């Protein structure tokens, strides 16, 4: 997938349950389901560091950190809400769909503050009321 080697765990019917791989020498990913694996291994356009959503969500997180965690909920919703397995088990209720659609993004950053302390900050950015 886009030149990235992915190890996949599949059901006997060849449906991908989980996959993992290395995006670069320092970045590993673990994804549930083939659609999410495809999202993880494709290059975003624009690049993440050029994304206005990413910049606005991570700007209030500590800039001196060991890395970011980020979910663009508009893109994640497309994958989650179109997943027949989640819908088939009734995991996406109207209430949970409403909550998903109200979130713009989720960001996090982790920091090693001293030899024995690692702290994290998380932020949930909500969309303006429609």
Q: Convert the pLDDT of each residue in 66-91 to its tens digit.
A: 888 888 888 888 877 777 777 677 77
3 state DSSP class of 117: strand
User: Do both 68 and 109 map to the same domain?
Assistant: yes
Full domain range(s) for residue 71: 47-130
User: Do both 33 and 56 map to the same domain?
Assistant: no
Handedness of CA 41, 21, 101, 54 (dihedral sign): negative
User: Do both 93 and 35 map to the same domain?
Assistant: no
What's the structural domain count of the chain? Answer: 2
User: Do both 5 and 57 map to the same domain?
Assistant: no
Structure tokens at 14: 């060849």
User: Do both 75 and 116 map to the same domain?
Assistant: yes
Structure tokens at 16: 């991908």
Q: How far apart are CA 115 and CA 92, in angstroms?
A: 42
pLDDT digits (tens, 9 = 90+) for 21-69: 887 888 887 787 777 777 777 777 777 778 888 888 888 888 888 888 8
3 state DSSP class of 8: strand
User: Do both 39 and 60 map to the same domain?
Assistant: no
Q: Of 22, 21, 75, 66, which is closest to residue 46 (Cα–Cα)?
A: 75
User: Do both 90 and 117 map to the same domain?
Assistant: yes
User: Do both 63 and 7 map to the same domain?
Assistant: no
pTM of the model: 0.66
């Amino acid at each position: 997938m886009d030149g990235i080697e992915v190890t996949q765990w599949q059901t006997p019917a060849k449906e991908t349950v989980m996959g993992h791989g290395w995006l670069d020498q320092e970045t590993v990913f673990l994804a549930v389901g083939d659609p999410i694996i495809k999202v993880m291994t494709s290059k975003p356009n624009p690049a993440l560091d050029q994304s206005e959503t990413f910049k606005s969500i991570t700007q209030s997180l500590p800039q001196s950190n060991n890395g970011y965690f980020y979910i663009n909920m508009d893109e994640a919703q497309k994958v989650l809400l179109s997943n027949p397995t989640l819908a088939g088990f009734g995991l996406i209720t109207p209430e949970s769909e409403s909550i998903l659609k109200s979130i713009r993004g989720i960001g996090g950053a982790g920091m090693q503050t001293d030899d024995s302390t690692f702290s994290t900050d998380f932020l949930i950015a909500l969309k303006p009321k429609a």
